[in-house]
Structure 1
Amino acid sequence: MANNRFKGITGWLHLWLGLIAGLILMVVAVSGCLLSFEDELELVFFKDRHFVRPAQVRLSTDSLFNIANSIYPGKKVSKLILEAEPELSAEARVGKGPEMKVIYINPYNGAILYKGLFQKQFFRTVRNLHRYLLLNQTGKAVTGISCCICLFLTISGIIIWWPANKKAVNQRFKIKWKAKSKRLNWDLHAVTGFYLSFFLILITLTGLAMSYDWVENLIYKLADGKVQKELLPKNLARSKKADPGVLQKMEDSMNKLYPNPGRLNFNIPPKGGQAIMGQKESEQLPPGCTNAAYFDSKTGQLIKQQPFATVSFGTKIKKYVLPIHAGSIYGLGTKILAFVVSLFTASLPITGFLIWLGKRKKKKKPRAVKCSSKILATA
């Protein structure tokens, strides 16, 4: 009896929370499908800004930096990205915050291939829809709550699905494709939901880590015993002017420190007295997990080398959060898996709504029969 009552309460909460958050979860899941292949689709949809004809000599990193700095007067380059593939353009991000601009540059002749607001790019809009529902901080709060609801729906779904006896075990693992529409819909919701639940728990937990600072801080405290703060080291030199070719010197140093091919990022701080951080990707590391080094922004002198292997355990977990959530952690295979999980997740609110609608109609029918029998009796 106690078990049935617990299942009943769980089912009631599962139903109504699912109805409340269903539409938001569908939007998040469908946008998640697109984001699973963001890198690949970006190159297909917007190839004019990404692909160039390689030449024998590439412009120096300082030249690319200066070109980008000249496009928006009064704003400074905050990030410069150099691709490993010779046929891809260089990317510069100018300024910070919602007004940050993006520029794509041909690294061989300096031609501007595209410039505009960073957040207005198609996949940035999809990402903002996925994380903020295009509503900034209000949307972030809504998706954060929806993520908590999704975690509850996943766990409660397993409880509801759990077979009551041994005879029902086989039925719960298979979809009866030849069954009537109501039974087929139930199977599509319950059986599919069960298989997805293992991945959904992982996706929602990583989603919570990106939505709430306290979850991220908890990761650091559990892994490292304290919350880590990323502080940029200060320059070694006191000079106010940067030496000529300083960024090219940093690029050469990064390639010596980390000789593997990979995308190279330079994060330029707004304050002139702080160091520049270089980050280089590697095929041996998931996306977003980079080998880094800090350089004096005026002289290009190496201040500190920081391979990914040497960062704290908490920092490693934090860096793994996004590739796990997006499905890019092990390349194409996990991307396809993330796409399929997101696609089927988008269908769960629909099949769940149809189950509720079917039960509602079923409850109304006896009342109609009762009413008609009373009319016949009085007649």
Structure 2
Amino acid sequence: MSKRVKKTTTWMKVRKFFNDIHLWGGLISGIVVFVVCITGTIYTYNTEIRAWAQPEFNKVKVEGQKKNADVLLAAVQPEVKGKIVGVKVPYADNAPTMFLYNKKEKEGEGKGSAEGRGREERKGSNELKSPEQGKERAGEGKSEEGKEAKTEAIPNVKAETEPEKKVEGTKPNAEQGKPSEEKGPQGGQRGAGGPGGGRGPRANQLAVNPYSGQIIGDPSDVKTKTADFMQKMFSLHRWLMLNEIEEPIFEGIENRKLGSWITGTATLLFLFGVITGIVIWFPNKMRSWKNGLNIRWSANWKRLNHDLHNTLGFYSCIILFLMAVTGPFWSFEWYRAGWQKTWGTYKSPDAPKEEKAPVFSTLPANGKNPLNIEETILAVNKILPYDGDVTINFAKDSVGTVTVSKNRVGFFAPSAGDKLTLDQYSGEVLEKDIFREKPFNERASASIKALHIGDIYGPFTKLLYFISCLIATSLPVTGVMIWINKMKKTKK
């Protein structure tokens, strides 16, 4: 009796081709992908972990009535060794009020020492926190966490050139593709922005108890082991900690850049792995597709390992794709430019910058005083009538403007924030930057960071990304086990 010849279909050939790409791409990038994913899993809750390590700067006891923000300002002003340039008024009752201030330069701190600090900072990380989302998260003063934010926040800027981010204030003229102001653990933005209204030195944050008026302190003045650990996680995630090595490994290539290229290349291979994995998930016989939706927990360990790889990978494939497709943005300039060209937001570095006419406040003829904090918040809430944290950057001079950003709060709160530029006397809106009103291509281009870290819709999407990142961490392990088992079977 002759043996039955198995017919090779076109789909089987296509599936085998994609399977080979999936296999070898995974084997080549497996170790790096594992490191990037496990550190990314931990770093997903970076802000929350840092806040947990410094509870005194993030939560206060609710007792009685909150003091007026202007009363707090009057009480804090004499105690601040510097100039107060703004305030962040949180929506939560148990959150401290954060005053933004510029420290006075100590004697002997000039340009030279600043450059020295810059060289030291370049050894550490820098922050994106990102290209991208409408709701930038400003770093924690001088804390290590904020270091990634600035570079990643501006798609048109090379991610490797900005070593450290200390949060900057709101810009009235938001750049295309740049997310709105970022928040640190306290959610405050740093510095002030806007013509005559606040684009000054990067500001520190001073936490104040809104009930007692007690000054809690500046979180950037307190160093914690948690902050150091999270910084190591970020360094490992972005550069495999090659930035910690002072001597260049390869002559002519900065170690940070080398690490970025390695992680970027591994992420691209992981992206191919996600795409090919989706293709090969579909079985040769379509009537068997349901098998790919279940994990047979009672099966032998080889079958269980296969199901964990196959099924969990399928359920998380969309989020894994978003993480992988945005990852190389901070590793390769050509990738960053390609993304921006795809969304129609690319601006050539050689192209002349479009100068936008600055706006100014109109001096009132009747000698009216500028709006105080509470009046400014009322004016903002009329234009942006939703619950959210409000950050106000004070006017820089008598004709300067007040720049305000507001971010929604809640479990499903979108990451993108809204910004307004107001006349400091009348509260009239001179400029506004409402994220939802932007064209889709600008919103997409400005959401790269949020798409990568998962805070598109606040804690809800963050939780989904955390679970998906855990799955991504397991995929190189389960994938290698599948390959080893097949190799043993072939030998037999």
Interval of TM-score (by shorter of Structure 1 and Structure 2): 0.7 to 0.9
- Compared CA separation, residues 236 and 244, structure 1 to 2 (3 A): closer
Q: Which moved more, 1:284-293 or 1:153-162?
A: 284-293
SS in 2 for 1:116: helix
1:116 aligns with 2:220: yes
State how 1:327-366 maps to structure 2 within 5 Å.
327-363=454-490
Q: Which moved more, 1:266-275 or 1:140-149?
A: 266-275
Count of residue correspondences: 356
1:317 aligns with 2:327: no
1:10 aligns with 2:18: yes
Structure 2: how far apart are the matches of 1:122 and 1:298? 44
- Compared CA separation, residues 102 and 68, structure 1 to 2 (3 A): farther
2:362/2:423 contact within 8 Å kept: no
The alignment yields a C-alpha RMSD, in angstroms, of 4.5
Aligned amino acid, residue 282 of structure 1: R
SS in 1 for 2:443: helix
Q: What's the counterpart of residue 407 of structure 2?
A: 281
Match of 1:50 among 50, 58, 64: 58
- Compared CA separation, residues 309 and 233, structure 1 to 2 (3 A): farther
Q: Which moved more, 1:19-28 or 1:107-116?
A: 107-116
Q: What's the counterpart of residue 221 of structure 1?
A: 344
2:421/2:430 contact within 8 Å kept: yes
State how 1:164-313 maps to structure 2 within 5 Å.
164-166=284-286, 168-208=288-328, 212-221=335-344, 234-236=358-360, 250-266=376-392, 277-283=403-409, 286-295=413-422, 302-313=429-440
SS in 1 for 2:388: coil
Which one has a bigger Cα radius of gyration?
1
Deviations 1:284-341 (A, max 9, x none): 9843312221146899764213333332322322344444444444455433322221
Aligned amino acid, residue 317 of structure 2: S
Aligned amino acid, residue 309 of structure 1: R
TM-score normalised according to structure 2 size: 0.58
SS in 2 for 1:293: strand
1:50/1:104 contact within 8 Å kept: no
Deviation at 1:356, TM superposition (A): 2.4
Q: What's the counterpart of residue 158 of structure 2?
A: none
Deviation at 1:236, TM superposition (A): 1.7
2:292/2:311 contact within 8 Å kept: yes
| Structure with the larger helix share | 1
Q: What's the counterpart of residue 26 of structure 1?
A: 34
Structure 2: how far apart are the matches of 1:238 and 1:45? 45
Aligned amino acid, residue 46 of structure 1: Q
- Compared CA separation, residues 297 and 130, structure 1 to 2 (3 A): farther
Structure 2: how far apart are the matches of 1:23 and 1:181? 23
1:185/1:355 contact within 8 Å kept: yes
Deviation at 1:154, TM superposition (A): 0.8
Deviations 1:217-268 (A, max 9, x none): 1353189xxx9x89776242599xxx87776664453234324321113468
1:162 aligns with 2:282: yes
Deviation at 1:163, TM superposition (A): 1.1
| Seq. identity, % | 24
TM-score normalised according to structure 1 size: 0.73
1:106 aligns with 2:226: no
Structure 1: how far apart are the matches of 2:71 and 2:416? 23
Aligned amino acid, residue 162 of structure 1: F
Q: What's the counterpart of residue 90 of structure 1?
A: 97
SS in 2 for 1:169: helix
Q: What's the counterpart of residue 190 of structure 2?
A: none
